[in-house]
């Protein structure tokens, strides 16, 4: 069983929203959205060469995976724009469902997707995501 298969198997466990695997090393999360990816980046976790299984991968998450250095991603749902970002950076992508855009749970476009809409590289996207998260946290 390869790392992506192992990540997918861990991801299938109840409550798991993200699983990353590299050899015997494993990281899992039950947090939703991009929070676990942002934590990994904030903690400067080296995920170079890891494989990930994720619930939803939009363009924002795709840019974060680029920064993390993963080699492969499985997503239950992936946007076509996220696929372009991942493939453009040599990251293998497998998905159960492909969609044109990621929507917010409240309806409308996902705010993270809107934040990175015009970004052309991962660093620029990371800055835009951090800005959007600060903006959302400041709202009453």
pLDDT digits 0-9 by tens, 102-131: 988 788 889 999 999 999 999 999 999 999
Report pLDDT for 16: 96
The residues spanned by each domain of the chain are 3-138
For tokens 């015009």, the residue is: 118
Strand partners for 29: 18
Do 93 and 87 contact (CB within 8 A), yes or no?
A: yes
Put simply, whether the predicted model's pTM sits higher than 0.85 gets the answer yes
Element of type H or E holding 78? strand 72-79
Strand partners for 53: 19, 74
Report pLDDT for 104: 85
Task: Print burial letters for 59-87: b (CB count within 10 Å at least 16), e (below 16).
Answer: bbbbbbbbbbebbbbbbebbbebbbebbe
Residue from 47, 57, 49 nearest 27 by CA: 47
CATH of domain 3-138: 3.40.140.30
């Amino acid at each position: 069983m390869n790392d992506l298969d192992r990540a997918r198997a861990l991801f299938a466990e109840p409550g798991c929203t993200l699983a990353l695997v590299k050899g015997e090393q494993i990281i899992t999360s039950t947090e939703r959205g991009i929070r676990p990816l942002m934590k990994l980046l904030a903690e400067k976790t080296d995920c170079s060469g890891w494989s990930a299984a994720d619930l939803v991968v939009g363009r924002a998450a795709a840019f974060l995976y680029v920064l993390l250095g993963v080699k492969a991603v499985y997503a239950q749902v992936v946007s076509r724009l996220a696929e372009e970002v991942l493939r453009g950076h040599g990251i293998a992508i497998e998905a159960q469902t492909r969609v044109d855009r990621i929507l917010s749970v409240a309806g409308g476009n996902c705010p993270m997707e809107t934040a990175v809409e015009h970004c052309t590289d991962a660093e620029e996207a990371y800055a835009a995501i951090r800005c959007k998260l600060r903006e959302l946290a400041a709202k009453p």
